[in-house]
């Protein structure tokens, strides 16, 4: 059985109820983090998982709300014998290495070793037995990747978009995905009011239309922009106008069994 735990579902501005977007993917022997904002260890514990079982971290891009918790995570693993594998674009893994070195976190006294793997967009890579990943470029930032996981129990396809504006190519790659966790900045009215949003994030209206066209089986909108001040029900209604599949509006620390 594979499961996604939503460690956070909000945008860069956290709220009382929604922290920065991050996920825990449990598939077979793999326990992987997708993005690493703050207090990740505490949230993994609250999700009923063991932090020491996390061996893989996939970073979508180098904006602060997706990577600022990495030094704290490695520092907390100071006495844990093992390896933390960090995956991302070449730009991302270089940045992450420099970030850790700012705090001296790759010195020998830290018993968790950090290994970096630069993913080549479009080329599948094995993560562990039964888990394969393919990275895809998305046009949010020069370092940005979306992650497509292929899980052998099923088989199943799970896609995490990271932050991204509307990208038809990503929806084509997400066709008939068992789960698509996708950027949803807010309702379309804000994208009309602030046109610059469309170059960084996806509106609820576009998310619904394109997820419907791609026949996504389960859609999870995330990375809600709290500064826009909209009720989640408004985004839900816009998505529903174009999408008739299974829609999950997850709260922080909710879990989802991959169908």
In a domain, 97, yes or no: yes
The strand order across the sheet containing 125-128 reads 125-128, 131-137, 145-151, 156-160, 179-183, 218-222, 246-247
Residue 205, classed as helix, strand or coil, is: helix
User: Mean pLDDT of all residues in the chain?
Assistant: 96
Read off the pLDDT band of 36 (50, 70, 90).
very high
Q: Domain range spanning residue 87?
A: 2-250
In a domain, 199, yes or no: yes
What CA–CA distance (Å, rounded) separates 23 from 72? 17
Residues 127-175 pLDDT 10s: 988 899 999 999 999 999 999 999 998 889 999 999 999 999 999 999 9
In a domain, 60, yes or no: yes
Q: 120 — phi, psi (to 5°)?
A: -95, 115
In a domain, 255, yes or no: no
In a domain, 240, yes or no: yes
Helix and strand tally (H, E) in the chain? Answer: 8, 14
Q: Tell me, what CATH number does 244's domain have?
A: 3.60.15.10
Residue 91, classed as helix, strand or coil, is: helix
What CA–CA distance (Å, rounded) separates 151 from 250? 22
In a domain, 81, yes or no: yes
Read off the pLDDT band of 77 (50, 70, 90).
very high
C-beta separation of 35 from 21 below 8 A? yes
In a domain, 87, yes or no: yes
More confident residue, 182 or 128: 182
Q: Answer whether residue 28 shows pLDDT above 90.
A: no
CA atoms within 13 A on the CB side of 43: 26
Read off the pLDDT band of 29 (50, 70, 90).
confident
What CA–CA distance (Å, rounded) separates 221 from 6? 11
Angle at 84 between CA 81 and CA 90, to 5 degrees: 150
The strand order across the sheet containing 30-34 reads 112-118, 82-88, 56-58, 30-34, 22-27, 2-8, 255-257
If one counts the domains in the chain, the total is 1
Q: What is the pLDDT of residue 128?
A: 87
What is the percent of the chain where pLDDT is above 70? 100
Residues 162-181 pLDDT 10s: 999 999 999 999 999 999 99
In a domain, 259, yes or no: no
Dihedral sign from CA coordinates of 152, 156, 157, 162? negative
């Amino acid at each position: 059985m594979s499961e996604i735990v939503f460690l956070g579902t909000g945008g860069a501005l956290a709220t009382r109820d929604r922290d920065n977007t991050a996920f825990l993917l449990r598939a077979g022997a793999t326990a992987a983090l997708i993005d690493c904002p703050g207090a990740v260890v505490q949230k993994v514990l609250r999700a009923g998982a063991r932090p020491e079982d996390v061996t893989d971290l996939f970073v979508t891009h180098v904006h602060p709300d997706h990577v600022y918790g990495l030094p704290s995570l490695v520092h907390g693993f100071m006495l844990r014998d093992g390896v933390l594998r960090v995956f991302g674009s070449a730009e991302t893994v270089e940045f992450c290495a420099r970030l850790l070195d700012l705090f001296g976190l790759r010195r020998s006294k830290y018993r968790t070793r950090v290994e970096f793997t630069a993913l080549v967009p479009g080329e599948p890579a094995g993560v562990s037995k039964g888990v394969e990943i393919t990275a895809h470029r998305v046009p949010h930032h020069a370092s940005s990747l979306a992650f497509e996981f292929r899980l052998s129990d099923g088989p199943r396809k799970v896609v995490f978009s990271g932050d991204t504006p509307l990208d038809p190519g990503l929806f084509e790659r997400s066709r008939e995905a068992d789960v698509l966790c996708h950027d949803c900045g807010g309702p379309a009215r804000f994208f009309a009011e602030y046109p610059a949003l469309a170059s960084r994030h996806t509106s609820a209206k576009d998310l619904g239309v394109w997820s419907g066209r791609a026949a996504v089986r389960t859609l999870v909108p995330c990375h809600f922009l709290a500064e826009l001040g909209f009720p989640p029900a408004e985004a839900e209604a816009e998505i529903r106008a174009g999408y008739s599949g299974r829609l999950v509006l997850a709260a922080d620390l909710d879990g989802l069994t991959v169908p």
